[in-house]
Every structure is written in C-alpha cells, then in structure tokens.
Amino acid sequence: MDSLQHWWQPFLVGAFDTLIYCVISFPLALLLGLLLCVMKGSRFTWLSTPARIFIEVFRSTPIITQIFLVYYGFGAILVNYNLSQFDNAWVAGILCLGLNYAAYEAEVFRAGFLSVERGQTEAAYSLGFSGGQNFWRIVFPQAIPLMTPPFVNDFIYMLKDSAIISVISGTELTSIMQRATFLSSSNTVPLYLMGLALYLVMSLPISYVARFFERRLRAAL
Amino acid sequence: MEQTVVRPDSEPKPRRWLVMFDYLFYLLLLLAIVGLAYYMYYYLSTPLIVTLTGKLPMVIWVPILLQKTGTTLFISLVSMVLATVFGFIGAAGRLSRFAPFRWLAAIYVEVIRGTPILVQLLFWYFGVAQILSISLNFDPYALIYNFMTLLQSNSVVANIDASLFDAFFWGIIGLSFNYGAYLTEVFRSGVESVDRGQAEAALSLGLNSRQTMRRVILPQALRITLPPLTNYFITLIQDSALLSILGVTELEQQISALAVVQNNSNIKLFIYVFGALYYFVVCFSLALLARFLESRFSKAY
C-alpha cells in the first residue's frame, strides 16, 4: 500500500498522457479514414485499389508489428536523413495509432454512407447536384449521427490500444506502471490493479455515454 | 424489356483523363512487383547477418518464420479453446436467473473489455504469477507435467524449458481470459437472438427447460455465433503477438530478433516490412478461408 501512495501521482500523469495520445491520434484517424473511404468508393482503380490494400493490410497485421515497424524500422531510416528529431515515441505512437485506426474508421464511414438511403442520392442528382455537392450536403450530414456510436467505441479501443506505446518506451500509463512495478520491491499486484482501475475510469464513462446516445438514436429512428 | 438501372443516368460521368490513371496504376503496380523481386533477389544472394554459426542469408528466414508461425497458431488455438470455455461460463452467468451470477459475469465483461490486453498480460505474468509462485509455490510446468504423466504421455512436455513455459502458460491464460469476455457477449447475444417463440413452443411441447436450451436454442444460437467466432480467432492471432513482451518466442519475437542484430538500417526496415507482410499473409488468408467456409456452411436448416 506504501507504493500506491508513492506512485499515484505519476500514474495520473501517465493517464493524462494516454489521453493526449488518443486525442491527437483520433482526429488524424478520422481524416485519413474519410479520405480512404472516399478513395475506396471511387470508380477509378488507381484510387480504390491502394485504399483497399491499405485497409486490409492495417486490419490484418498486429498493432505491435506496426509500431515496431514505425519506430525501429522507419526510425532507423530517419537518422540517415538528418531527421532524428522525429525519431521519438510521440511521433511513432501517434502515427501508428492514427494509421491503424484510419483503416477501421474507413469501414465505419463506408457503413455509415451506405446506410443513407439510395433515394436521397438519386433525388439530389435529379435536382442537379454535382457528385461533390451530393456527398457533402446530402449524404454526409445524414450519416454523422449513425456513425457516432461506432466512432466512440473505436475511441475506447484506441484508449486501450495506446498501451502498446509502452513497448517503444513512450511515457504513458502502461509504461509508468511498468517502471513502478520494476522499481517496487514488494508485492506488485496493487500497482497493476491501480493501472487497470485507471484505464477503467477512463473507458467506462465514455462507453456508458455512448450506449446512452445509441439508445436515444435507436428510439429516434 | 427494360433493364434495372443501377445508377441513374443523371449521375455525372467520370472524366476520361482520370480514367487514364487506371492504366498508369497497373503499370506502376507491375513496376513495384518487378522492383520488389529485384530487391528480394539482391538480398537473397547477399549474406545479411553474421551469427556465431557463420553467415545467415535471407533464405533461412522463411523456415524460421514458418516454425514460429506454428508456435503462434498453437498459442492461438489453445487460447481460443480456453476462451470458448470462459465465454460459455460467462454467458451462462449473464443469462442466469440467480442475480449474483449475473453481476459477477457483468463485472467480468466490463472490467476485461474496459482495460488493455497488454496490461492484463503484464498483470497475469508479472503480478499474479509471481505472487502465486512465491506464496503458494505454484509451478505451471509441474502442473502440466503431472497432468501429462497421469495421461501416460509426459514425453510430450519432457523436453520443454520450464523457465520458458511460465510465460507461455500465463500468456495463454491472459489471452483466453481476455477473449472469454468478448465471447461471453457473442454467446449471450446469440442465445438472445433466437426467437422467444422457439423456447415457448419447445416448452409447450413438453420439453423441460434444460432440453429446450440444449436441443432447440443452442443449435440455432451456435449457427449465429460462428461468424463472429472466426473473426475473433483472427484478431486473437494478431493479439498473440503481444506475448513477445512476456518473452515467449513466437513469430513477432522472431521478427524482432532477426531485425535487432542488423547494423544496416535499410535492412532493418526491410525485415520489419517483411515481418508485417508475413503476418498479413497468414491472417488475411485465414480471413479469406473463414469467409469461404461461411458462405458454404451458412445455409440454414
């Protein structure tokens, strides 16, 4: 119990860093995911095939392999080009989380756009809207409420997956927990339980809020 | 006869010069494949790592990776079987009529799903395992060895390194305990998705509640749960890469071990890309197989 008193402040700082990683990576993933979704839906092979390959590759490789690839693989290359200031856990972690989740968000976007009724698009075209106008003014606004619950779920998944940044020695909750347990000479189970509890404190409220909105959405439809 | 129009005629036609990029794309794809083949050929003929046993060319990687793929698949299979057991117990708890069982199962699902699997694995191996081995003298290797002796086949586990077995054991426990929570929800939603009328009909035909569950609801529920089960198996293979943090020598650990000894950063990057693509080939082909099997066996009764 003595170790808990000693470590609770660093743990809170670590939890804050975890949140920062996610808050930066998630918008990145959303933007890239939207781009990928639009590319995948394109009629041009030179746009749709790269997007499809990106999505399949990032969804079927472990995130730990990706983060090793980004941090140790590309990090070693960066030094050759005098870009070693970018060779740190913040850049690698945010890049890896952003790219990985972009692949998932692209599928969420696609499902959201598909669930907007086809008749809406047909009506827009028959009213003389262009493709871009139809997308931004008709389909996109209607899809947003449908896509919000899966986005919130993916944000929670990202919160949990950001623990992987500890393997490239970034400073976030898991790595601080590991440092604490490494330095602790007594029973380490309370420290692990405190780390797990902090993750729960971060993820459970978000998931309850998401479920509440999902229920309201379902009632509204 | 008029054909069904999929796309209304009023939709804007793609511009012709944009379509030209398609041919450019195929050309670039061809060039990329040729380039990769040349790159592979170049490194195939060049010794890459100097080890104690001499020079180790890239040809050696593939058999090593294949062997470690076996380890990864073995870990995933055992974890999946155990996770199914945990999932069944959890689902039975969540559907139980006895409220404390329901609460316990709900806490299990919420806690596991709200925390990272990596932290759970660290908790099991560096927290629980250490405490158990100190206070209760618990040794998973001895446990398994005695169990296999009971089955008169201890030669299977006789030549396993006992110190490596610990991480292996707790890694599998952590993975299956984690996935058990997800499978709990899969099984629960499977049972709940079977129409209420089915149970009512079975009960009114004189089946007792146990027979209703076993003969009417479960067969229908299992058919619904099979697609998510195969999905979870593939994500389980990906998450089993986390066991490399515990020091289990599986595929991910092997890729890192091959890369770490390299001095040339280009080759280092190449190995990581190669490893990621290798994982992709394994997981994606399994996903395709699952999709194929689903389309073949998804016919209802």
- Best of B115, B185, B243 to disrupt the A interface by mutation (most A CBs within 10 Å)? B115
Tell me whether strands B47-51 and B54-57 are parallel, antiparallel or unpaired.
Answer: antiparallel
Residue B111 in this model has a pLDDT that exceeds 90: yes
Stated pTM of the model: 0.85
The CA-based angle B24-B27-B33, given to 5 degrees, is 140
Residue A25 in this model has a pLDDT that exceeds 50: yes
Q: Which domain holds residue A173?
A: 2-220
Q: Which pLDDT tens digit goes with each residue over A81-128?
A: 888 878 888 999 999 999 999 999 999 999 998 888 888 889 998 998
Contact B274, B257 (CB under 8 A): no
Q: Which pLDDT tens digit goes with each residue over B188-213?
A: 998 888 888 888 888 888 888 888 88
At residue B45, the pLDDT reads: 57
The mean pLDDT of A155-176, rounded to a whole number, is 91
End-to-end CA distance of chain A: 51
Question: Where residue A55 falls among pLDDT bands split at 50, 70, 90?
Answer: very high
User: Do the chains contact at B116 and A69, CB–CB below 8 Å?
Assistant: no
- Best of A196, A204, A206, A208 to disrupt the B interface by mutation (most B CBs within 10 Å)? A196
- Collect all residues of chain A within an 8 Å Cβ-Cβ radius of residue B266: 77
At residue A6, the pLDDT reads: 81
Instruction: Tell me the CATH number at A160.
Output: 1.10.3720.10
Mean pLDDT rounded to a whole number for chain A: 88
Please give the DSSP secondary-structure letter assigned to residue B137.
Answer: -
Cβ atoms within 10 Å of B197's Cβ, excluding its own:
8
The mean pLDDT of A120-146, rounded to a whole number, is 87
Q: Where are the alpha helices (DSSP H) in B194-250?
A: 196-204, 209-211, 218-239
Q: What does the alpha-carbon distance between residue B248 and residue B257 come to, in Å, rounded to a whole number?
A: 12
User: Do the chains contact at B11 and A125, CB–CB below 8 Å?
Assistant: yes
At residue B44, the pLDDT reads: 57
Ranges B156-160, B192-196, B286-290: which has the least confidence: B156-160
Residue scoring higher pLDDT (B227 or A2): B227
Q: Where are the alpha helices (DSSP H) in A116-188?
A: 118-126, 131-133, 140-161, 173-183
Q: Which domains, and CATH codes, for chain B? A: 66-248 (1.10.3720.10)
- Collect all residues of chain B within an 8 Å Cβ-Cβ radius of residue A15: none
How many structural domains does chain A have? 1
Question: Where residue B52 falls among pLDDT bands split at 50, 70, 90?
Answer: very low
Q: What does the alpha-carbon distance between residue B127 and residue A187 come to, in Å, rounded to a whole number?
A: 8
At residue B235, the pLDDT reads: 92
Question: To the nearest whole percent, how much of chain B has pLDDT over 70?
Answer: 84
User: Do the chains contact at A167 and B269, CB–CB below 8 Å?
Assistant: no
